[in-house]
Amino acid sequence: MSKGKRSRRPSGHPARVAIRRERDAARRAGAPPGPDSFARRIVREARELKSPFDAELWASHLLGVFWDQRYTLPLEEAASPDYSLILGEPLIEAVAKLGGEGARTALSIISDVDDGELGMRAGKLAAQLELDSGDGGPTWLGEVGDAEITGAAVMREDVFDDACTVFLEARHPSGESHAVGVLIDNNLGVMAKDILLADSIDRVAEVMRKHPRGDGELTLERIAPGVAAGRIAAAIELTEMTLDPPVSDDYARLRAVAMLRADEVSHFVPVPERDEMPHDERDRLRDEFLSSPEGKDFASDGDEAWAVSLAIDFCADYVDGRPLRWSPVVVELFMANWIPRKVLADQGLFERLPSALDAWVRFAGRKAGTPEWAVEDTRKAIPRWRSEMVEHGSDPAAGGPAKQFLTAAKAAGVDVEDAGALETFMAGWNARSEAP
């Protein structure tokens, strides 16, 4: 498996290099950078492209630069699907002004890879240049964005199931083939976090056979391309909706290629929206735990029962909707991140949560049929995160805005269960926040 069919220049994508050089030159000259030098570099690079897949990777990397830079825009524009047009239109117009085969090629590739407003604008500019010259560009240009999907598979770890990688395999008309894999993190709401390239799905299987995991739990299963495309699209969409998502360095530069391949699949199967776990079902699961051998020593109105309810809510609402799926990573996210940010509680809960969570993990493992070794590995993670949970849980600054508000209300003597009192306090809170 490789990160690309050929290595990119060590200096990086031309847009990144040109931006850095233009910025440095502008700093020395005392003038703001412009798009002209970026455009010249992009045109030169476009003339060097040799195949449709190479061109798709090139454009995807360029679009990834805009994706990375979207937070430099005002929030409303950064959240807009047109952020790439806002950032990229001056650049493609500068490319069009240069004219020639390289400019037409660059604009045509951007048009074929980007399905948004920037791609439409690039397509119009490319068409105008082609009409002016009558030259259609490289012979392979028509294959960009026109690959046949030849297979799909999912690679997963079946016990903990923290994540999976969904592959789409494709072949261009000239015979060039590849596979794109999107890593989907089940612990973060089933969002896309990383993207990789491989020669083929068979090559992935070969690597897995030659380099097996020590526990032997990693599997690769062929699935319908429409199902794979639906899962990839849903995961990327969730990442797009997340402010500053925790993605890998490769995600931005390969994101557009992954979406391009998913869009080329026929018989697309959308992922159904996950139903929220009803609260009465959550209560029944908690009560089943409290009557089980693992939870029978806990009072139904005690901190331990509340801790288990929080564990159920965490998995149902913030992970992937499966409250019985626990792993060392899920324990870390719950204790070191979610509890400190979301839960307003006294020291008693933090002291009792580890023992309650240990019992819950044993109950969930038994009920779900999780192997004993996996249950034990998960239990061992609980004491590792106890001190961090206690430290951050008692620090109001470590919480989210809602927790900070409720902490301030409690400190002011407000009964946080009194809606009227909270509303009055909120009015004063907002007035203080808006004061100059």
Confidence tier at 12 by pLDDT (50, 70, 90): very low
Whether the predicted pLDDT of 421 surpasses 80: no
pLDDT score, position 255 = 98
Cα separation, 4 vs 206, whole angstroms = 17
Chain segment 352-370, per-residue pLDDT in tens: 999 999 999 999 999 999 9
Confidence tier at 76 by pLDDT (50, 70, 90): confident
Secondary structure (DSSP) of 311-371: HHHHIIIIISS-TT---HHHHHIIIIIIHHHH----HHHHHHHHHHHHHHHHHHHHHHT--
Domain-by-domain residue ranges, the chain?
A: 14-143, 148-263, 294-396, 400-436
pTM: 0.82
3-state DSSP percent of the chain in helix, strand and coil, to 5: 60, 10, 30
Structure tokens at 252: 């931005």
% residues pLDDT > 90 (the chain): 69
Whether the predicted pLDDT of 164 surpasses 90: yes
Cβ neighbours, 10 Å, residue 412: 11
pLDDT score, position 39 = 93
Q: Is 107 in contact with 125 (CB distance < 8 Å)? A: yes
Confidence tier at 321 by pLDDT (50, 70, 90): very high
Q: How far apart are the first and last CA of the chain?
A: 56
